[in-house]
Structure 1
Amino acid sequence: MTDLFGGHPETTTLSDSEVQFLDTTLRDGEQAPGVSLTPTEKAEIATKLDSAGVGVIEAGSACTGAGERETIDRVTSLGLDATVTSFARGVKRDIDLALDCDVDGVNLVVPASDRHIEDKVETTRESVIETAVELTEYATDHGLWVEVLGEDGSRADLDFLERLMRRAFEAGADRSCYCDTVGHATPDRTLSVVSRLTALGPTSTHTHDDLGLAVTNALVSVAAGADLVHATINGIGERAGNVALEEVAIALEHGYDVETIDTAALYDLAQTVAGSTDVPLAPNKAVVGENAFTHESGIHTDGTLKDEAMYEPYPPALVGRERRLVLGKHAGRAGVRAGLDEHGIDVTDEELSTIVDRVKTIGDRGRRVTDADLLTIAEEVQGRDRDRRVELLDLTAASGGPTPTASARLAVDGEERVASGVGSGPVDAAVSAVREALAIDATLESYRVDAITGGTDALVTVEVEVSHNDRSVTVTASDADITRASVVAMVDAFDRLLSATTPVPLAND
């Protein structure tokens, strides 16, 4: 048993009893502005949540409409181990619609604060209690698992909230839920409320991040006895979002030895939800952000190479990640040498010093130093030429007609190859022509125009990331013609990948 509050005599402790998640990505998360999930996307996310060991999945709100009920039906038909629920307001019809979707339970929400009771619903406290009791009995009589949520509970009169939930339990509710609906609560308020509710029966916690306290309040809730945490993947949701499931899961496991789900599935879940919702992950997002296990600083890279735990709280594999050492203006000798070693390049101390200076110069211009950049720098410093397997000899592209076309002439292992391609634009057509000429199954992972200079001799810089046979390379190229810059970068990336592997057969024409 670990004391979350430093042994304060008036607080409780975070026990090692079982804690589970109720994931509401498919309901509360989808209420984020601009987010709308298809039945297929909801089914995919639900399946991955279930595989990760999430105990309860709130699949949506059956009362929303026919389309929403279709998505809930899709989830309930998957045969998941998780309990699948529907959000239900304090009206009988919502429960009936949830039953039609064959859910296992309902998350029954009734107003708890006077602001919601009197101003929103225009009713009385006694009427709210009567409704909660009546609908709880109705739902349980129909075999549903029932969780009663007191909306805006963090701003409710605590004596009334306690009375409401006591009556709900007496009516057969399986659990109550503390709702910090508007992210209003401080940790001490959360502790007071949840401690009172857990004395009545099983209690959940539902926190929002409007004050940046969602994770803290979720942990305080668990310390106060809550054993089910409502959360969303990536913390998506209305306003500042819900508490992020991945952050609570790793905080409980790493900080308090409380295991909840298979944390190795977190990064894949994060990527799936980010892709389905078109809500990208911030690079500095805890646990799943691109920079969470990325090191550039020379001091940090050197320390990490000596001891992987030097600058990381837990190993990246715990959440399905890999460590990345990148080069830029803060790079040091250890990081640069590690990058060279990865490509099998031996350098003297003098050569290494020159390469580090060159890397820092590029970084000072605001650019990330790619694998291709590092290899090129090393080649120039050592005065050697790389044996190229692929070279671009000629490129033509036309976009005046209805379908953009392009033709590329390449030298592949000394053999000339010519191929043509079509695409949605001249760049797409040119890249298709190069792929056709090489007949290589490399994947274009990312493509972006990195910078455009001004003036009549404007240069466009294109950056591509290409992967092949479990290796990837990032290459940049600049030219006044965006099509040529794109193809030069692609060809150089293909050449780097092929030259770095044991002979890779290139298909004949």
Structure 2
Amino acid sequence: MQVKILDTTLRDGEQTPGVSLTPEEKLRIALRLDDLGVDIIEAGSAITSEGEREALKKIVKEGLNAEICSFARALQVDIDEALKCDVDSIHLVVPTSELHIKDKLQKPPGEVKEKAIDSIEYAKDHGLIVEFSAEDATRSNMQFLKEILEESISAGADRICACDTVGILTPERAYEFYGELSKLKAPLSVHCHNDFGLAVANSLMGLRAGASEVHATINGIGERAGNAALEEIVVALYSLYDVKTNINTKMLYETSKMVARLTGVYIQPNKAIVGENAFAHESGIHVDGILKKAETYEPITPELVGRKRRFVMGKHIGSSALKEKLEEFDFKVDEKQFKQIFERVKNLGDMGKCVTDVDLQAIAEDVLGIVEDKMVNLEEVTVVSGNKLTPTASVKLRINEKEILEAGVGVGPVDAAIVAIKKSLEDFADIKLEEYHVDAITGGTDALIDVIIKLRYKDKIISARSTQPDIIMASVEAFISGVNRLLANEKKKKT
């Protein structure tokens, strides 16, 4: 069995309160979704606005592998606007519950059905693929629901879909509900909302019951509590059900981050698959098990979804994780020294501090008495940035007891600070920034920012990291920490 994925991030997902994407942003996401391996991209609703039509046309012009779809109501004007955008298909949505027909449309059920059939025939006559969806299907009379779906198939609908519009299904009922509809002679799609936190579970049950396609959004964004999360469904199918999709799972994390950045919808740290804590470990017992055999506390490998495992240092850290970190930083310690470092890390954790790599290096250097290897010390950093100001930074460094003051400008405050530091180091070492990565690992305006960088000096590349609430200080601290490690390594070579 192979499941098809209809991604509705650009339509249902964009209906998340506060989200509005430009045509260019929609195109960027569509290109990524196509690379990801999505089968059908519901790229918007052509009737909505001129900007929406511009986005659809831009996406269609790219000639993507994915089928490009526009949402449409059972109205000729909606279908005509979709046709003008040259889309491959329409997602034709018609309410089927008494609540929607009587109170929203205020029309007789027979008229709603007739309008739906006329719309399907009109779309098919004009060369469109039609996926026909029953809105609020899970609160509809089953006899009427099956009648309208059967008639839609007879009218030429290529696929049918039953929507759990307000997320009221349970997994047990989802299996029965979609199992009944899977008996109809057309490919069946599952479309679930997350009002009770069951969208992914219900989607999986619908697929088990006989559906062959699932509607989902990246990060589960969407109206109210959102839609079923694409990344959770795909990985669950792959790992738990041995069911294939066309999705390149290694691209899930980077796609998630891109959508979060462009929509501004924050991903909670403990979110499955793509949350920053999904593959982070602090507990000593867990880390010890992970180091011995990853499967002890990880149901999937982080690499499967484009992630890396991360060990967090705090009061729950165990000796195995700390030893691993010390070895990573090339610190050789005896039992007494290790105990001192271990206790100091625990004490910082008890004070509520997240112990960064830089903190650990400072502690280890202090215990080992090798603080003198720290050639570069930050004395002061000042950054000026604003709406009409070019980001400018000044830094004061002490390098081998010599005080150096430099300034730099950049595209942003972090870039300006790094430029100023690199200028300060020009006479000492030609250090190049190879890679820069930043994540917010907690929520809120005081979120801890995790900065990871890669620096090169001659033929040596090292990684450095810092975690702070201030992104500028975290970036500067990580950079200087990396510089000190590179210079210390060079010094060792010469001795």
1:111 paired with 2:102, answer: no
Residue deviations 1:429-448, cap 9 Å, x none? 66653243236543664599
Q: Among residues 495, 501, 507, which one is paired with 2:483 in the alignment?
A: 495
Report SS of the residue matched to 1:63.
coil
Distance in 1 separating the partners of 2:145 and 2:450: 57
For the structure 1 residues 485 and 72, does the alpha-carbon distance in structure 2 shift closer, same or farther, using more than 3 Å as the test? closer
Q: Among residues 88, 94, 105, which one is paired with 2:78 in the alignment?
A: 94
1:75 paired with 2:59, answer: yes
1:211 paired with 2:196, answer: yes
Residue deviations 1:132-173, cap 9 Å, x none? 111111111111110111100010001100000000000000
**Partners of 2:374 and 2:488 within 8 A in 1:** no
Residue deviations 1:270-306, cap 9 Å, x none? 0110111111211100001111111100000001000
Give the CA deviation at 1:174.
0.4
**Partners of 2:464 and 2:478 within 8 A in 1:** no
2:214 aligns with 229
1:151 aligns with 135
Letter in 1 for 2:15: Q
Give the CA deviation at 1:413.
6.2
**Partners of 1:23 and 1:245 within 8 A in 2:** yes
Q: Among residues 150, 160, 168, which one is paired with 1:166 in the alignment?
A: 150
Distance in 2 separating the partners of 1:159 and 1:464: 55
Q: Among residues 361, 364, 373, which one is paired with 1:378 in the alignment?
A: 364
Residue deviations 1:87-126, cap 9 Å, x none? 0011110000000011000000011100001100011211
Give the CA deviation at 1:501.
5.7
Report SS of the residue matched to 1:33.
coil
1:249 aligns with 234
Equivalent runs, 1:5-154 vs 2, <5 Å: 17-154=1-138
Give the CA deviation at 1:490.
6.1
Letter in 1 for 2:216: A
Distance in 2 separating the partners of 1:88 and 1:243: 21
1:293 paired with 2:279, answer: yes
Distance in 1 separating the partners of 2:383 and 2:121: 71
Give the CA deviation at 1:419.
2.3
**Partners of 2:94 and 2:135 within 8 A in 1:** yes
1:202 aligns with 187
**Partners of 1:477 and 1:489 within 8 A in 2:** no
Letter in 2 for 1:227: S
Between the aligned residues of both structures, percent identity stands at 48
2:458 aligns with none
For the structure 1 residues 47 and 497, does the alpha-carbon distance in structure 2 shift closer, same or farther, using more than 3 Å as the test? farther
**Partners of 1:430 and 1:483 within 8 A in 2:** no
Give the CA deviation at 1:269.
0.8
Give the CA deviation at 1:391.
3.2
1:346 paired with 2:332, answer: yes
Q: How large is the RMSD of aligned CA atoms in angstroms?
A: 3.1
1:437 aligns with 424
Distance in 2 separating the partners of 1:42 and 1:483: 28
Give the CA deviation at 1:68.
0.5
1:325 paired with 2:311, answer: yes
Q: Among residues 346, 353, 358, which one is paired with 1:360 in the alignment?
A: 346
Q: Among residues 414, 419, 437, which one is paired with 2:406 in the alignment?
A: 419
Residue deviations 1:183-227, cap 9 Å, x none? 112223322321222111210010011011101110110011111
Distance in 1 separating the partners of 2:384 and 2:28: 41
Distance in 1 separating the partners of 2:203 and 2:448: 44
Give the CA deviation at 1:472.
3.8
Give the unaligned 5+ runs of structure 2. Answer: 456-460
Distance in 1 separating the partners of 2:236 and 2:464: 34
For the structure 1 residues 374 and 97, does the alpha-carbon distance in structure 2 shift closer, same or farther, using more than 3 Å as the test? same
Give the CA deviation at 1:405.
6.0
Residue deviations 1:210-263, cap 9 Å, x none? 011101110110011111100000000000000000000011110010011211
Residue deviations 1:381-408, cap 9 Å, x none? 2223241232346778899x98786644
For the structure 1 residues 382 and 204, does the alpha-carbon distance in structure 2 shift closer, same or farther, using more than 3 Å as the test? same
Report SS of the residue matched to 1:341.
helix
**Partners of 2:393 and 2:413 within 8 A in 1:** yes
Give the CA deviation at 1:485.
6.9
1:279 paired with 2:270, answer: no
Distance in 1 separating the partners of 2:252 and 2:197: 21
Give the CA deviation at 1:75.
0.9
Distance in 1 separating the partners of 2:273 and 2:262: 19
Distance in 1 separating the partners of 2:294 and 2:397: 43
1:190 aligns with 174
Letter in 2 for 1:313: P
Report SS of the residue matched to 1:84.
strand
Q: Among residues 474, 491, 496, which one is paired with 2:465 in the alignment?
A: 474
Letter in 2 for 1:419: E
Give the CA deviation at 1:422.
5.0
For the structure 1 residues 120 and 286, does the alpha-carbon distance in structure 2 shift closer, same or farther, using more than 3 Å as the test? same
**Partners of 2:358 and 2:478 within 8 A in 1:** no
For the structure 1 residues 62 and 115, does the alpha-carbon distance in structure 2 shift closer, same or farther, using more than 3 Å as the test? same
Report SS of the residue matched to 1:62.
coil
Residue deviations 1:311-344, cap 9 Å, x none? 0001111111111112111001101000001111
Report SS of the residue matched to 1:64.
coil
Letter in 1 for 2:465: T
**Partners of 2:462 and 2:486 within 8 A in 1:** no
For the structure 1 residues 316 and 403, does the alpha-carbon distance in structure 2 shift closer, same or farther, using more than 3 Å as the test? closer
For the structure 1 residues 306 and 406, does the alpha-carbon distance in structure 2 shift closer, same or farther, using more than 3 Å as the test? closer
Report SS of the residue matched to 1:58.
strand
**Partners of 2:464 and 2:479 within 8 A in 1:** no
Give the CA deviation at 1:372.
1.1
Distance in 2 separating the partners of 1:413 and 1:156: 77
